Amino acid sequence: MRYWNELEPAGLVGHFLSHPPEGFEALTPSAGLPGFIADFDLLTTADPQALRYVTALPGHCWLRKLLRWPTYFFGTTVTEYMPMATSIAANALPGHLKEDWGKRTRLLIIKDVPLQSCLLSAAEREYSDTFLAACQQLGFISVEGQALAYVPIDFSSTDDYLSRLSAGRRRDIRRKLRSRAKIRLEILPTGHERFLTEEFLAKLYDLYQEVYSQSEIHFDKLTADFFRAVFQDGTLAGQVFLYYTEGGLIGFNLCFIHGNKLIDKFVGFHYPDARQHNLYFISWMENLEYARSRGLTHYVAGWTDPEIKAYLGARFTFTRHAVYVRHPLLRALLSRLSRFFESDRAWFDEHESSTRS
């Protein structure tokens, strides 16, 4: 099935449904949309100040358990935007989704609906706007989502790209890129015969788990079966960037070429080697050069770590989540407190303010 709001190949959604993250119950697409049920920590996207306040409360561990709810989600955790099928009109779709939910859980979240994204067509933007307006009419609470980083490929070379950054950032990034000389890069397409080797797949999954374990947010841990299916699927137009030092493989970056864009999707790093060799910075510049050399229009760098991505020159576009709480009193409370769950928007507003001053 093909979807609107696609930044990734549709086959990725199929692999998500066949091999959901640990603890997730994948749902057969309803009204043309994929979904899942999972336990959700309500403080996952809370701003740091709110988290510090909760942590300082007596019995905060007990409180955190109370704030972990089984939740019905429409969307996936492997797509940047909510995949939408246009067989149902935008203003009617929220009602269909609410009926499909059927109060199976206390909380319903329609996740990652794009807000006037320059990465989508005008028709897709209009559909999303109409959909969000209809959600609000049905009593959904609109909560700001994460900041999706992207870079337009409108530069002629790495030097041209870096020239747009401040002098201090240029010096720092060039210094970090010196370790590139000690790294060997190999790029393999998904479906390559190397991905039939279980030992190699296990190594790649170990690298993914190293990144997952040091991440601040632990929500969706993808499985080895999911990665096996993706790495072995030659129809996805995936490109696997493999980074080696003399000591062996220290990182991978799985990207997809879709819609004339390079979509950065999954990474795995071996620590401390990846940090010592500034692999994050190196892989960022390699991805930009790969996209430029192939005439792509954008590099889409994903949701996490907006601060470092802004430092590297990324721009940002936001989404909204449409949230429905079954209990009317809790629904009213969440509506008043929703701003405390918009940490990326708070960061972005502060970042923009400091940039202008």
Would you place residue 43 in the very low, low, confident or very high pLDDT band (cuts 50, 70, 90)? low
Q: Which of 114, 113, 118 is nearest to 152 (CA)?
A: 118
Would you place residue 356 in the very low, low, confident or very high pLDDT band (cuts 50, 70, 90)? very low
Higher pLDDT, 80 or 30: 80
Least confident of 181-195, 234-248, 282-296, 340-354: 340-354
Q: Which of 160, 7, 196 is nearest to 83 (CA)?
A: 7
Asked if 109 and 38 count as a contact pair (C-beta separation under 8 A), the reply is no
- Compute the distance between CA of residue 41 and CA of residue 54 in angstroms, rounded to an integer: 13
What percent helix, strand, coil does the chain show, rounded to 5? 45, 25, 30
Coil/strand/helix, residue 36: strand
Q: What is the pLDDT of residues 106-124, one digit of tens each?
A: 889 999 999 999 999 999 9
Is residue 177 scored above 50 in pLDDT?
yes
CA 276 to the chain's CA centroid: 25
Q: What is the pLDDT of residues 199-214, one digit of tens each?
A: 999 999 999 999 999 8
Least confident of 10-14, 71-75, 302-306: 302-306
pTM of the model: 0.88
Query: In this prediction, what percent of the chain has a pLDDT beyond 70?
Result: 82
Report residue 252 as tokens: 């991978």
Place of tokens 């003399």: 246
Is residue 33 scored above 90 in pLDDT?
no
- Compute the distance between CA of residue 196 and CA of residue 199 in angstroms, rounded to an integer: 9
Would you place residue 342 in the very low, low, confident or very high pLDDT band (cuts 50, 70, 90)? very low
pLDDT at residue 61 in the model:
60
pLDDT at residue 57 in the model:
56
pLDDT at residue 208 in the model:
98
Count of all residues that appear for the chain in the document: 357
- Compute the distance between CA of residue 187 and CA of residue 244 in angstroms, rounded to an integer: 11
Q: What is the pLDDT of residues 136-158, one digit of tens each?
A: 999 898 888 888 999 999 999 99
- Please provide the DSSP assignment of 256-313 as one string: EEETTEEEEEEEEE-TTHHHHTTHHHHHHHHHHHHHHHTT-SEEEEESS-HHHHHHTT
pLDDT at residue 3 in the model:
82
Where are the domain boundaries for CATH 3.40.630.30 in the chain?
154-296
Query: Average of pLDDT values for 1-29?
Result: 90
pLDDT at residue 340 in the model:
43
pLDDT at residue 25 in the model:
95
Higher pLDDT, 53 or 184: 184
Is residue 44 scored above 80 in pLDDT?
no
Query: In CATH, what is the architecture of 154-296?
Result: 3-Layer(aba) Sandwich (3.40)
